[in-house]
Each structure stands twice: as structure tokens, then as C-alpha cells.
Amino acid sequence: MSSESVNILAVPFPVQGRLNPMVQFCTHLATKGGVKVTLVLTESASKSLQIPTGTASLIEVELIPDVIPEGGGADTPQNTETTFAQFQATFSQGLPQVIEKQKASGGITPKVVLYDSILPWILGLAKGFGLQGAALFTQPCCVCAVYYHIFHGDVEIPSENSPNAGVLSFPAMPLMGTNDLPCNFNDDSQQVQSLLTNQFLNIDQVDWIFFNSFDKLEEKILKWMRSKWAVKTIGPLVPSMYLKDSKEEDHRISFFKPHSQACMDWLSMRQSNSVVYVSFGSIASLTQQQMAEIATALAQSNHYFLWVVRESEETKLPKDFKSKISEKGLVVKWCPQLQVLSHGAIACFMTHCGWNSALEALTLGVPMIVVPQWADQPMNAKYVVDVWEIGVRPKANQKGIVTKIEIQACIHEVMEEEKGKRLKRNAVKWKGLAEEALLEGGSSHSTIEHFISHLSSI
């Protein structure tokens, strides 16, 4: 391959959970010979990001100015609809300018626009310039399959009085309860649901359909999806340094500054498999009552714990909690999650079960206690517990609160009972299969190689 044979433009949606899979995919691509990758970000998003120097040297970053859509302004209330309207206005103007700029530079012309699947209209912009479009789905195949059925109106939720109340059946998937579905139909905004289901608006026109998953993890649903589209898996999208003995730098981007040294120093003083790691991600917001139940459960358990509590959530902690648990627990505002999960002191992960967190735990062989909050998380949790059998799920009460008793029972089950050993064995099995997919000759590795090879030939 020549030194300049492939030029890829990448358009992520700038929230932590969707940005990092895109950045990691771009990293995989940029480390191949002859591949140039340009990450296109808005100026406002770039101001909030912690971008490692290694990332900036490997992947070019092109900033485009934010555009206020027609009819909008400083007084327009910010919600899901207005945020996406502004994003669409910004990229509809900025992306063509980036493409024209690269064409005029005398270098190799872009051949494809790689974009977050939640932005299906990007495909039209790419096609307008004669470029291919590649959609990256950052949630699992099973969840996206349900979005597809919702999009096509195939989902009929059983009423409370029907013989099969609360049970739904989908092709190539286990039976689902209504509380297992992504996007709780009663509570989630219609706007969010539309954004997620509209990922399938123009799916038949997309040149490449990539999922952050791997073949052996979702074999059944992948077989069903591939009967409709040429779906490719390229995951798990985590740096290879966490999969094997590699010096590869972690190129992930963060909106938060991690307390890396404090976390790793604290963990280094703990025994192997002695710590419960707790994090609910970058967006989930728990009620004060739920925070109190978790705090009490951790304080009264027989195990050490490391708990990530974002700055915006700290006021919900019980009074003097940090000082009272200083001997057995560490509370930080953010942490380097992959480093933490790969540390030998970690025994299990209490998580909201966002896809990045669930996939990272699975990839690093760490059993989970899943406490899903919204969006894809309930269904991720269903698969973690019932299909992959690498976690347990405490039951919420009628008010939707997971009590300290439920949490303590799950910690005891994972850390001290025979079931915990079985979960760990399963987690180690999946870790091996994840590594196999990414190593040379594996399904995900081969897909990435084929993608680059194809682009270099057109």
C-alpha cells in the first residue's frame, strides 16, 4: 500500500459514550499503513475534551464552527431536539467545507465518511460529494435490532390483562419482559426514541454497517441481521494494550479529568480480587434515595470499594460519607476505567450497564452487578445476566429503587458464593473470545483489514 492511499473522515456524536468507540475505531484504522483519518468536531465540543497528545499525533482533528439553526438563538431552550437541530445545521455547513478543503489541498481526496449511526443524514452529505458512507453503531446488535422493529412498527407491547402480559418475542432473541426493552416506552421522551429508531432511516443505502461487538458474542442476532444487511463487527473497541502485552497508548478522549494516580495507588495496596468497582457512567443521574442505598450497602459490606461519583452527583451522597468510609473505600469524580478494570484487585463491577462499560468488563474478564437506568441499559443487562451469564441484577422495588439489602446480597453472591466463581469463569471465557476477534485472523481484525483494502482499491 502506498504512503497515501486512503483518506477517511470521521464524524462522531460528541458525548463520552459515543465518542470513544469512534475514536478507538479511528485509532485502529490510523495505525494501518497508508491510512489518514480526520476526526471532525465542533468547536464547542473540542473545548470540553481532554485529548491525549498521542491521539492528536495519530488522528488529525478538524474543527468546524457551531451554527445556530434557523429560528434558533441564545434564548432557545436546550433539549434533545434543539441540540440535534444545532448539530445538523453545524455539520450540514461545516462538513462540505472540510471535504472541499481536503480536495483542494492537493493531498489524497477523502473516500468515505465514517459517522455515528445516530446521525443518518450524514449519509446524504457524503453521497452528495460522491463519497461512500460508513455507519458505526455504538450499541449492541441485539439492542439495535429492537430499534429496527420499533421503527417498522413491529413491536406490540402486551397489555397487563393479556395472557402473555409483559412478554415479548423477537426473531433470534430470548423472550423479553417489557422492563428489558431499550427505551422504556412509558418514560423516555419521544424525541430520544425517534433518534434511536431513525438509525434505520436509510440503512439500505449505507455502504458499510459496523457494530461495536464481535461475531461470537452475538451469533444468533447477527445471523438474522445479515439476512437483511451486510453487517460487520469491529469490536470490542478497546485499546489493544488491555488485551495483550502491548505498549500501545490509550488514545481515548474524555470530557472528565480522571484521578488516575490516586486510583491506581489505592488499588495497588489492595489484595487480589478484593475490590468492588462502582461507576454509573458519564450521563446517568441517580436519585438521592438511590445514592443513599448504594452508599449504605457499600459501607456495610465486607469488601473494599472504589466508587466514581461525578462532581454533579456529589451533593447526593450522605453527609460525611467520604470521611466515614476512608478506611475501606475511595470515592473519586472520575477514573481511568480500563486501567481500573484491568487491575488484579478488582473483583466485580457495579455498573449502569451502558454498552461501553459492559463490553469493557466482558473484554477484561470482570463479573458485573448490573443496575440499568435507561436507553439500551436494561437490554444490555438482560444479555449480561441471562445470555452471557457474567453478572447478576438486583431487583428494584415498586418505587424503582434498588435497596441496600438487594445490593449487599448481590455483592455477597458475586464475591463469596459459588455462583461468583462461575460468573468469573464465564467472564474469562468471553475475554478470550474478545481477544481472538481482535487479533490477526480474528473476525473484527479481518473486517478492518478488508475495509482498508477495499478503500485503497477505489
Rounded distance between C-alpha atoms, residue 347 and residue 358, angstroms:
15
Secondary structure E strands in 280-398: 304-308, 329-332, 346-351, 368-370, 391-392
167 or 122, which is more confident: 122
Residue 291 domain-assigned?
Answer: yes
**Beta-carbon contacts of residue 138 (< 8 Å; ≥ 6 apart):** 17, 18, 21, 22, 116, 117, 212, 355, 356
Which of 57-61, 282-286, 422-426 is modeled with the greatest confidence? Answer: 422-426
Tell me: do 424 and 447 sit in the same domain: no
Looking at the structure, tell me whether residues 425 and 288 fall in a common domain. yes
Residue 249: pLDDT over 70: no
pLDDT cut 70: percent of the chain above it: 89
Q: Is 397 helix (H, G, I), strand (E, B) or coil?
A: coil
Name the residue with higher pLDDT: 405 or 252: 405
d(Cα 99, Cα 91) in Å, to the nearest integer? 11
**Across 138-152, 229-243, 420-434, which has the greatest mean pLDDT?**
420-434
| pLDDT value, residue 425 | 98
Considering the domain architecture, whether residues 35 and 77 belong to the same structural domain is answered as yes
For residue 413, what is the domain's CATH number? 3.40.50.2000
pLDDT at 2: 43
CA distance 388 to 141: 14
pLDDT at 50: 63
Say yes or no: 64 and 101 in one domain. Answer: yes
Ranking 33-47, 220-234, 443-457 by mean pLDDT, the lowest is 33-47
Same domain, 328 and 365: yes
Regarding whether 314 and 195 lie in a shared domain, the answer is no
Total number of domains constituting the chain: 2
Q: Are residues 430 and 446 in the same domain?
A: no
Q: What value does the mean pLDDT take over residues 265-291?
A: 96
Instruction: Tell me which residue range forms the domain holding 412.
Output: 260-434
- Mean pLDDT over residues 252-263, rounded? 81
* 146, 272: one domain: no
In a domain, 248, yes or no: no
Q: What CA–CA distance (Å, rounded) separates 7 from 9?
A: 7
Report residue 90: phi and psi, to 5°. -65, -45
pLDDT band at 319; cut points 50, 70, 90: very high
For residue 33, what pLDDT band results from cuts at 50, 70 and 90?
confident
Residue 111 lies in a domain: yes
Residue 250, domain member (yes or no): no
Beta bridge partners of 105: none
Q: Are residues 404 and 450 in the same domain?
A: no
* Grid cell for residue 291: 445514592
Cβ atoms of residues 237 and 137 within 8 Å: no
Q: Are residues 81 and 208 in the same domain?
A: yes
